[in-house]
Structure 1
Amino acid sequence: MKQIHWPYRLLAVGHSILLLFLITACVDKKGDTNSQVEENVVADGYDRLHLPMTPPETELFTELDARNAKAPKQWSIKAPEGAPNVVIVLLDDMGFGASSAFGGEVKMPTAERLAQKGIVYNRFHTTALCSPTRAALLSGRNHHSNNMGAITEVATSFPGNTGMTPKSAATIAQILKYNGYNTGHFGKNHETAAWEVNNSGPFDNWPSYKGFEKFYGFMGGETNQFYPAVYDGTNKVEVNSEDPNYHFSEDMTDKAIAWVQSQKSLTPDKPFFMYFAPGATHAPHQPPASYINKYKGMFDEGWDAYREKTLQRQIAKGVVPKGTKLAPKPEYIKDWNKLSDQEKKLYARQMEIYAAFGEHIDDQIGRLYGSFEKMGIADNTLFIYILGDNGASAEGTANGLINENTYFNGVSEELDYVTANMDKLGTRESFGHMAAGWAVAGNTPFKWTKQVAGNFGGTRNGMIMVWPKKIKENEVVRNQFAHVIDIVPTILSATKLPAPETVDGVKQMPIEGFSMIETLANAKTPEFHKTQYFEIAGNRAIYQDGWVASVVHKAPWESKPPVSLDKDTWELFNVNDDFSESTNIAAKNPEKLEELKKLFMEEAKKHRVLPMDDRTVERFDPKAAGRPDLMNGRKSLTVYEGMYRMMENAFINVKNASSSITAEVDVKPGANGVILAMGGRFGGYSLYVKNGMPAFTYNWVGKEQYDVLSNKALSPGKHIIKYDFKYDGGGSGKGGLGALYIDGVKVAEARIKNTNGSMFSLDEGADVGFDEGTNVSKNYAVGKNRFNGKINYVKIDVQ
């Protein structure tokens, strides 16, 4: 007798229970969409509440000859009939007022075309920082619920901030894959614990194990567009970065298009989910040179004029209400008309480069969407274009930066220094960032920027949805309050899938967002997301029914907050009347303010926001932050030839301490090449041989190169080369004395005046036998520095 698989028994005896669960558990709170999901789950015979699904048990056959038996129907997982392809495009560090689609001066014709084709959302919110936004985006749960209260590199041991996303918060990629979708992720990850980005794993939190069948991109918070640190799955791959025309944004777009073409060629009826997350427009600002000249002179009027003109265009486009006022600039941002000619020239050039970067990535998104149109699949593709994972970044501080790595090490770049190197901006010679004044302008009409979760300038981003098959009314801007956690429930509603009860045997926490699906058809849909907290490093806010209570605890350009968390001053805004949060009305509404402050604490307790941690740069040190460290306090590490891109958070830490590097090598006449390198052109150190003579270079945040050079050559044969560093002490980033030894004999000594106190690089790690990516030292060339002898081992010791 044929056995009946348990899900079918469940449908037979517990139909009413299943329907009750669906009513309460489905992410879409609206009745019509809920009924669609219920009907689909019941009708198609799949248990979509427990993932992965298992096939029904098959009958046992007693017939000897297969010719005399009827084969059972093959079982396979299929997506709901008519389910759309789903694409999420997430730009990086682009503010609400940057794109031309939202009134800004960064030309983004693809965004404009899609805005006309689809629907524009003008009250969509992120978390104010990249890793937190991405965790919330992919799971439908708040960032602290995902243990992602900040970027992974500054995780702590407190719940809500561990940097380890829980298995009870499955990604939309896992859900869709288990429901019959192909899944691909291209571009930035930044969702894997920093100490787990290594060749030894574990790999559970890499994209390939979080639901993505295909991953082609980079793992950290940023990457060099010309020398990217690219992975295909969990394997590091080399790109042709020495090609003068190579650019990562174009490379990842090529790979994404090819992946879709392959999927639709072989399985045309199978839908796909793509997460397309470029590094643009995060620092380093590195567009192709051909784009930069398009903007020559466009920003000469400065950021104050930009804000005023952008607001006028925003009102004309309807992306902000009539009567909206510009919020005042932070006092730190100077009036443009009070700047020197030197400052104006420099700052205008920085914005030209940023705008070029924005237009270039928009063109790549145009190529991607155009490929869907050519393949005839655009009509049933839900295309979600989010213009920024937070507000524009003010991490360039007052003058902008030649090398963003200086910001993370607390090293200033003075105006004269940045100006003297201005021609390098946007090229392979810089890791540049724009002045903070442009970040404020890019967030028009708001006051603040990235990192500031206490203001919409840090959390308000433009968003466009396109789904030609379903969207018919596309002329009215949608102004319902929405948050990044609403994307997953919206996708589940669109695909007619329920939020699963279990995934991989793990009970799932409730989805915390709300479906936006009804807004696609009806611009007058009542507001569905009534309460939302925000918090990043003590910057915090609470939204409820049009009211916002908020705290700006620390500005991005401040090394430390001016007051302790308990001494913060709260502000109050009614954003139903004051779109831009231009007028603080706390003094007039003390009772409302106290009510919202109390509500914030309730939400903070519920979502594991507490205790808040307002440290920033200090948390780059695992010991200070109290997070796991792959080295686990080890004072010695031995590595071998061929090991490479060992990221800083998974490598022995030599910063702010005395240390030594000892290498055993075999050489022939004419010895050359790198023995060990950490980091690259914008910060790091390297032990190498040049013209037979050992050498060591310490690259201090790209500003200074300190060389320790031997005047004695290596004879053919085996040698022990040692570099010894005696740290001065007295704090972080201090100097010391470096010495080189050959077989125990000192052959060179030099002063290292400054060192990197917090990090060498977010995207370049340690290499043995060559220096991959950019070169630490000017004394050898990029791509032509492989050691031509044999390295038996390299041992690093920290005292």
Structure 2
Amino acid sequence: MSDERRAQRSVLPIPDQAYAGTIWYDAKDPEADFAPIEQLRPPAGAPNVLLILLDDVGFAASSVFGGPVHTPVAERLAAGGLRFTRFHTTAICSPTRAALISGRNHHSVGMGGITEMSTSAPGYNSMRPNSCAPLPEILKLNGYATAHIGKCHEVPLWETSQAGPFDRWPSPGNGFEHFYGFLGGETDQYYPNLVEGTRPVEPWGTPEEGYHLTEDLVDHAISWVEAQKALVPDKPFLLYLAPGATHAPHHVPKEWADKYAGRFDDGWDAQRERTFARQKELGVVPADAELTVRHEVIPAWEDMDDALKPVLRRQMENYAGFLEHTDHHVGRLIDSLEELGLLEDTLVYLIIGDNGASAEGTINGTFNELISLNGMAGIETPEFLTGQLEKLGGPESSPHYAVGWAHAMCTPYQWTKQVASHWGGTRNGTIVHWPRGIRAEGEMRHQFSHVIDVAPTVLEAAGLPHPVQVHGITQQPLHGTSMRYCFDDADAAERHDTQYFEIFGNRGIYHRGWSAVTKHRTPWQTTGDVGIAFDDDSWELYDGSSDWTQARDLSAENPGKLHELQRLFLIEATRYNVLPLDDRSFERVLPEYSKKPELIGHRQLLFPGMGGLTEQHVVNWRNKSWSLTATVIMPDTGAGGVLMNLGGHSGGWAFYLKDSVPTFCYNLFGIDRTHIRADAAVPAGEHRVRVEFGYDGGGLGKGGAVTLLVDDQPVGAGRVERTEPIGFGYEPTDVGRDILSPVTDDYPAADNAFTGTIKWIEMEAGDDSHDHLLEPADFFRVVMYKQ
């Protein structure tokens, strides 16, 4: 490729040039000589790029930023690179990820909230415009190899099924040539709902065999890099590793949690004080910084029930083990790069959290987050939780720690994840490591920066322009500012001097050291302050030049400055599609209000081999009557196995045959399993095997009568006394086999496929729905857990 063509990188793909020389008749003619084929590569000196984005880690969790969790790999990278102490995210999952890979503000790429809460408004529709080509697409079209390993929560909800379209999936839509991970906000770390490319795949083993998602993701990342360097050693790569850790459920092998036994016995208030002192020692906050006051809606440790405190302590020990476990496995990838001789020339971004620590675990925390999600938190009494302590963090649990711990993990700032107004929700410690490109080692950088700054930094490091046109579409400019200006100059004047923030009505504006902010909603109070008009929100004003932590509100002393920044927020909000502000909860979830497409109606045909279907991919059967009919062919020797299931060990249901006998199991959150069996086996031949659930009515989560039928003749009956009203979580629906954790111990975890033949399954919901009785707060709470 000529130097002239290499310079034509402002239009992508680089246009092919037709051969313009002499055409010869015979290839054997000595004059019939053509230039050799050159493969597309970025400019000389372009580094490899490794982006690592952890999940739900507050500023004050990791030891590298003064926290209680030992993170030696992060410390190692910081010792050889830079710690950015004023790096910011958007305060929530999908928006941060969309901003990271696009280099644009999240509303400008349609991600004003999580995908489950998208609406038809431009800033909230979860549909990145094709005028905003993402960083991986730009790098791929310039000759980089690209891979995304881990979590992706940027695909519009109605496009997440195997029917596609796949235009906004990591591969091919976001420019990644390879994807291995999961779609959505969370998944079980022991039984993940995995996808490779666009195809559902199964984890390699069970937790008993040593399986854990974080380790699996890192194994895939290492294998991908090894393959690249074995086959195209001169081709730089972009690897985006986004583990599901440390998002709930907080799953980690027990020995990792046990490392922290007794470390948190004196509670979260004492931990905040310890962390703050350590942060000052390290210099990640100034010596004159103030520790912000704990808000009264966050309980003091001393006010918690003494009977609950052993559970609360173990929740934090478990989370700490989870984060250290994650750091350890990230270290295996770093070690691999070093062994391959690649680390020296790899630009590494380690972003420790896509938002502040998660306060979505309720005031008391939970053993199984699905219980509280469904409005049944009363089940989890101190006695119940104490009885589950030995299982916390293991495959039988789905835990999340209490609000107080989340607040402590955001020390020294106010608030947590979701609260985009305050630094507790948006300030995430970040490490940049690039030995060949950064002379400084082990230094701090205190310039204001934001996740949208990563893409322009990578392009500058690679010597690449931001393209004017991609695939024939004129591109919107990047919104971020390259951070390279301060890599070797600790005193460089700050260049990213204005940044707005907004999530769920919580909003703020940063401008040249000042910040004006207003909190509109409290994360664990799912309706919270909703109902207050936006104009009636109370704004606060902070001067960052003398108040690092937003501890001293100056709004009363300096109303002129506050009004100036409020106006600036509106200007930025107008520019970047933030308006109209939207604090609605359940209305944003329901298609009839939000005007997003709805994938499934009240009747559905499913076929054998279909699997990995999330709850929104099947008929909504909750709070109503429903039926499931399987047309099967039974062999002469009889058959057994799963016809269809939804969910797994922590809650779900399954319709299956055991020794040819139709059986239905309803698993209420792993606490109570109801089995209803037919009176006789299904004979050989083709038959219709059916389960009917007649909902009691009268409200949500009620019970109902179960009838089993073969060829329309009743063969068994029973009752389920209580059902879940909203959702069973992240384990999928499968046809012909329960692929992940089993709903019931009636069949094994792996070898449970139906041994006859399934022709098809029909599922149909009745017209007696009670979903209209759902409290907005309950509906909203479930969706928010999936971010």
Q: Distance in 2 between matches of 1:386 and 1:468?
A: 18
User: Residues 415 and 580 (structure 1 numbering): CA distance in 2 closer, same or farther, change over 3 Å?
Assistant: farther
2-structure distance, mates of 1:597, 1:737: 57
Deviations 1:478-535 (A, max 9, x none): 1111110010011111111111111122221111111111110101111111111111
Cα deviation digits, residues 182-208 of structure 1 (max 9, x gap): 111111111111221222211111111
Whole-angstrom distance in 2 between the partners of 1:451 and 1:729 = 35
1:533 matched to which residue of 2? 500
* Gaps in structure 2 of 5+ consecutive residues: 767-787
Match of 1:167 among 130, 152, 157: 130
Question: Which of structure 1's runs of 4+ aligned residues deviate more than 6 A?
Answer: none
Contact kept in structure 2, 1:169 and 1:509, CA below 8 Å: yes
Aligned-partner Cα distance in 2 for 1:501–1:410: 50
Per the alignment, residue 600 of structure 1 pairs with 569
**Residue 580 and residue 429 in structure 1: after superposition, are their counterparts in 2 closer, same or farther (change >3 A)?**
same
What aligned pairs does 1:189-228 form with structure 2 within 5 A after superposition? 189-209=152-172, 210-228=174-192
Confirm whether residue 743 of structure 1 aligns to residue 711 of structure 2: yes
Offset, 1:641: 1.3
Verify the 8 A CA contact 2:48 2:346 in the aligned structure 1. Answer: yes
Letter matched to residue 293 of structure 2: P
Other-structure match for 1:20: none
Structure-2 residue corresponding to 1:392: 357
Deviations 1:393-448 (A, max 9, x none): 01111111122233443442443332322222110101111111110011111121
Partner of 1:111: 74
Rounded Cα–Cα distance in structure 2 between residues aligned with 1:620 and 1:709: 37
Name the CA shift for 1:565/1:713 in 2 (closer, same or farther; >3 Å).
farther
Which letter does structure 2 place at the counterpart of 1:277?
A: A
- TM, length-normalised to structure 2: 0.92
Give the structure 1 partner of residue 253 of structure 2. Answer: 288
8 Å CA contact 1:553–1:565 kept in 2: the answer is: no
Return 714-723 or 374-383, whichever deviates more.
714-723
**Partner secondary structure for residue 255 of structure 2:** helix
Q: Does 1:229 align with 2:197?
A: no
**2:341 equivalent among 376, 390, 401:** 376
The answer to whether the Cα contact below 8 Å between 1:621 and 1:758 also exists between their aligned partners in 2 is no
Instruction: Identify the residue that residue 298 of structure 1 maps to in structure 2.
Output: 263
1:244 to 209, 226, 244: 209
Counterpart of 1:658 (choices 616, 620, 625) is 625
Following the alignment from structure 2 to structure 1, what is the Cα–Cα distance between the partners of residues 679 and 407? 52
In structure 1, distance between residues paired with 2:331 and 2:672: 41
Aligned twin of 2:734? 767
Q: Distance in 1 between matches of 2:639 and 2:587?
A: 41
1:752 is matched by which residue type in structure 2?
V
SS of corresponding position for 1:144: helix
SS of match in other structure, 2:358? coil
| Partner Cα distance (1:569, 1:380) in 2 | 48
Q: Are 1:151 and 2:120 matched, yes or no?
A: no
- Output one character per residue of 1:624-666: Cα deviation in whole Å (capped at 9) or x when no partner: 43311222xx221111111111222232222233321111222
Moved more, 582-591 or 142-151: 582-591
User: Structure 2 residue aligned with 1:320, among 285, 292, 295?
Assistant: 285
Other structure's SS at 2:647 match? strand
In the TM superposition, what is the alpha-carbon distance from 1:130 to its structure 2 partner? 0.9
The unaligned stretches of length 5 or more in structure 1 are 9-41
Q: Does 1:177 align with 2:140?
A: yes
Distance 1:534 1:692 in 2: 58
Q: Provide the rounded CA distance (Å) in 1 between the counterparts of 2:584 and 2:162.
A: 30
Superposed counterparts of 1:462-481, under 5 Å: 462-481=429-448
Q: Calculate percent identity across the aligned residue pairs.
A: 46
DSSP 3-state at the match of 1:179: coil
2:534 corresponds to 1:571: no
Aligned to 1:756: 724
Higher mean alpha-carbon deviation, 212-221 vs 106-115, is at 212-221
Shift of 1:798: 1.7
1:360 counterpart (325, 328, 331): 325
For 1:501 and 1:712, locate their aligned partners in 2 and report how far apart those are by CA, in whole Å. Answer: 70
Distance between the aligned counterparts of 2:467 and 2:134, measured in 1? 11
How far apart in 2 are the matches of 1:475 and 1:173?
29
- Matching residue of 2:17: 56
For residues 551-590 of structure 1, the aligned pairs below 5 Å read 551-562=518-529, 563-566=531-534, 567-590=536-559
Distance 1:455 1:65 in 2: 73
Give the distance between the partners of 1:758 and 1:611, measured in 2 at CA: 29
- Conserved 8 A contact 2:99-2:452: yes
Asked whether the equivalents of residues 81 and 443 of structure 2 are also in contact (C-alpha less than 8 Å), the reply is: no
**Match for 2:299 among 334, 338, 342?**
334
- Aligned residue number for residue 685 of structure 1: 653
Change (3 A) 1:510 1:411: farther
Is 1:348–2:317 an aligned residue pair?
Answer: no
How far residue 249 of structure 1 moved from its aligned partner, in angstroms, is 1.1
CA contact (8 A) 1:620 1:759 kept: no
**Do the aligned partners of residues 500 and 321 (structure 1) sit closer, same or farther apart at CA in structure 2, a change above 3 Å counting?**
same
What residue is the counterpart of 2:88 in the other structure?
A: 125
Per-residue deviation, 1:317: 0.4
Q: Does 1:409 align with 2:374?
A: yes
2 CA distance for matches of 1:278 and 1:261?
Answer: 19
- Residue pairs, 1:398-477, within 5 angstroms: 398-412=363-377, 413-477=380-444
SS in 2 for 1:521: coil
Distance (whole Å) between structure 1 residues aligned to residue 304 and residue 432 of structure 2: 40
The count of corresponding residues between Structure 1 and Structure 2 is 757
Look up the match of 1:46.
Answer: 7
Give the C-alpha shift of residue 793 in structure 1: 1.4
1:102 aligns with 2:93: no
Does residue 613 in structure 1 map to residue 582 in structure 2? yes
CA separation in 1, counterparts of 2:679 and 2:275? 60
Residue in 2 that maps onto 1:18: none
Q: Secondary structure at the match of 2:366?
A: coil
